[in-house]
Amino acid sequence: MPIDTELAAIIRANAVAALTEDMGSGDLTSLLVPEDTPAHASVITRQTAIICGRAWFDACFKALDPHCTITWFVRDGHKAAVNEKLCEIRGDARALLTAERSALNFLQTLSATATLTSAYVQAAKGTQAKIMDTRKTLPGLRMAQKFAVKIGGGHNQRIGLFDGILIKENHIVAAGGIRPALKQAFQLADEHTSVQIEVETMDELNEALDAGARLVLLDNFSLVGMKQAVEFTAKRAELEASGGINLQTVRAIAETGIDRISIGSLTKDIQAVDLSMRFS
């Protein structure tokens, strides 16, 4: 997947922040290695995984040794097998040792998000439902994890509070109801800003549709309720399911005819992929 200038800047900033956090005033242990010692290392995965995060991985090493070379044998989105070699790195030994943990942290975390997303996408395969992410990302890694969701075959929701409007229960109460909340949202939004409203009952869905809603979040609806909502809406708006969705339930939800399924666990409930970097 192409990385534009804006994302490239975020990647560099992520790498610098991670290295700064880890190094502090300096890597004491790497001083055990003589200065200017060349090194060669390789990275393998200990488990099957969808690989993601090459650019973040590279940025960590390049920040400390701009002249190091990294040869990748897989692309982002590749399904790696157990013990498959992912890449080889050649460069200054001290730099490689210092950057190792930060680089692997990015690769194992983003691969975990891509792998989990892919599992959900496969579970919903053959239906019209899109697997969507949320804002429940690890602090400081929102763009990285949203990149990983796309690598895993999922779709991104709004990036943050600035590029989309999601009217939830508390917004509705504070604004005086569904209709006034939507009216104000439509006045605020431009052509590039999505407006979505959350509903909890069929009556609220009906009110939202009558008020012009075109994107509706069904919060914790039952399967029967989702089917009723899909039939009642009759394509007047896109419907999104949310709340308590897991790999055991996502298929049945997708088969209700829902358009979108948002899953916070794609980015918040992940288990890092087991990777290993070894010097030779």
Per-residue pLDDT reduced to its tens digit, 37-61: 999 999 999 999 999 999 999 999 9
Copy the structure tokens of residue 240. 């999104």
The one catalytic residue in 58, 76, 198, 204 is 198
The one catalytic residue in 88, 219, 255, 274 is 219
| 203 contacts: CB under 8 Å, gap ≥ 6 | none
The one catalytic residue in 12, 85, 90, 101 is 101
Give the domains, in start order, of the chain with CATH numbers. Answer: 5-121+270-279 (3.90.1170.20), 126-268 (3.20.20.70)
How many other C-beta atoms can be found within 10 angstroms of the C-beta atom of residue 195? 19
**Is 136 noted as a catalytic residue in this protein?**
yes
Q: State how far the alpha carbon of 4 is from the alpha carbons of 8, 144, 161, 242, in Å.
A: 6, 13, 22, 31
The one catalytic residue in 163, 168, 210, 231 is 168
Q: In the block, which residue shows the tokens 């050649």?
A: 90
Per-residue pLDDT reduced to its tens digit, 22-37: 999 999 999 999 999 9
**Is 219 noted as a catalytic residue in this protein?**
yes
The one catalytic residue in 90, 135, 136, 268 is 136
pLDDT recorded at residue 67: 98
Low-confidence ranges of the chain (pLDDT < 50): none
DSSP assigned state of 6? H
pTM: 0.95
pLDDT recorded at residue 2: 80
